[in-house]
Amino acid sequence: MVGPRRPVIVLFGSSIVQYSFGHGGWGAILAHLYSRQADVVLRGYGGWNSRQALQVLPTVFPKDAPVQPSLVIVYFGGNDSSTPLPDGSSYHVPLSEYKENMRHIGLYIRSLSEMTRVIFLSCPPINEKMIDKSVPRTNEACRDYSNACIEMCNELSRTDPSFKVIDLFNAIEKCHDWTDTCFLDGIHFSSVASDIVVGEIVKAISEAKWEPSLYFGDLPTEFEEMCPVRPIN
């Protein structure tokens, strides 16, 4: 731990998270926005689904850690939504199980501390023409898993405003020519899509009625009073 202590924002998810610090990625943009205000920590695991994420929660987020995150941004769903293969070798997780897995992930993270907040990113669309056909996916399934994540989070937020959800499916589809501009390979985000993701995250944080606020415009800047250059009299 490097001091002084700052709020910690953890990005937890599959490859959409793992790759978020490259190609003008949304994780890198967040880290830049929060520079000198909060530490943005990457915990991305390419190829993972919600079932695997649930298994490692106590290791990734130990409850006895001396510092707990102020915010965890969670994304799983793309791999879960992939079409099941006959031999059982796919990433697929049934929709009902996925929804409950995400609920358990959210509740576990929320239990880390009284001040820990959670933002879920729902499953985004894909460009079906670009993706590797060996991993069959459809936008119809992506929409179903997106809706399940949104529904689950809305259920949690009715009694606890610490939970927020971002509808990535519709946010991406609102972009003009989204199929051509938002993806590197049909699944992973281009800089255009990353800008959309960051805009939605910043909006969600700014609108949240969290105390203390985690909006970057409200957080103090570390050592702001220590100007490196003094004016010449």
Catalytic residues: 14, 185, 188
Give the angle subtended at the CA of 120 by the CAs of 127 and 12, to the nearest 5°: 85
Count of CB atoms situated within 10 Å of the CB of 94:
12
CB 71 within 8 Å of CB 117: yes
* Backbone torsions φ then ψ of 62, nearest 5 degrees: -65, 135
- Residue 34 CA to residue 37 CA, distance in Å, equals 5
State the chain's maximal CA–CA distance in angstroms: 78
CB 63 within 8 Å of CB 20: no
CB 37 within 8 Å of CB 216: yes
- Residue 17 CA to residue 27 CA, distance in Å, equals 7
- Residue 119 CA to residue 149 CA, distance in Å, equals 11
Helix (H, G, I), strand (E, B) or coil at 36: coil
